[in-house]
Copies of this chain bind each other. A is one copy, B any other.
Amino acid sequence: MTPPVNGDNRAAVLHGPGDVRVERRPVPEPGPREVLVEIAAVGVCGSDVHYYEHGRIGSFVVEHPMVLGHESSGRVVALGAGASRHAVGDRVALEPGVPCGNCRECRSGRYNLCREVRFFATPPIDGAFANYVTIHEDFAFALPELVSDEAGALMEPLSVAVWACQKASVSAGDRVLVTGAGPIGLLAVQSARAFGATEITVTDVNPHRLALAERTGATQAINVAELPLEDTGVEADALIECSGHPASLQAGISSLRPAGTAVLVGMGPEEEGVVPLALIQNHELWLTGTFRYANTYPAAIALAANRRVDLESIITAHYGLDEAEAALRAGREDPTAVKVMVMPASRAGQT
Contact = CB atoms under 8 A, between A and B. Distances in A.
Contacts of A111: 107
A5 interface: no
Interface in A302-321: 302-303, 305-306, 308
* Most chain B CB within a 10 A radius of its CB, from A138, A249, A284: A284
Contacts of A282: 289, 291
Contact of A295 (B108, B274, B285, B288): B108
Contacts of A275: 272-275, 277, 287
Given A273-B277, A295-B108, A196 B194 contact: yes
Q: Count this chain's copies in the assembly.
A: 4
A212 to B, nearest CB: 20
A277 B264 contact: yes
A313 to B, nearest CB: 18
Interface stretch (A43-51, A165-173, A224-232, A338-346): A165-173
A125 interface: no
Interface stretch (A12-20, A61-69, A73-81, A97-105): A97-105
Contacts of A113: 258-259, 283-284
A302 B175 CA distance: 10
B109 A107 contact: yes
Contacts of A102: 101, 136, 138
A60 to B, nearest CB: 11
Contact of A294 (B101, B107, B299): B107
A277 B283 contact: no
B103 A303 contact: no
13 contacts: A101-B106, A108-B109, A109-B109, A110-B259, A172-B191, A198-B308, A199-B302, A264-B277, A270-B277, A271-B276, A273-B274, A281-B291, A284-B288
Given A107-B295, A198-B308, 9 more contacts: A104-B295, A105-B258, A107-B109, A162-B173, A173-B301, A268-B277, A273-B274, A273-B275, A273-B277
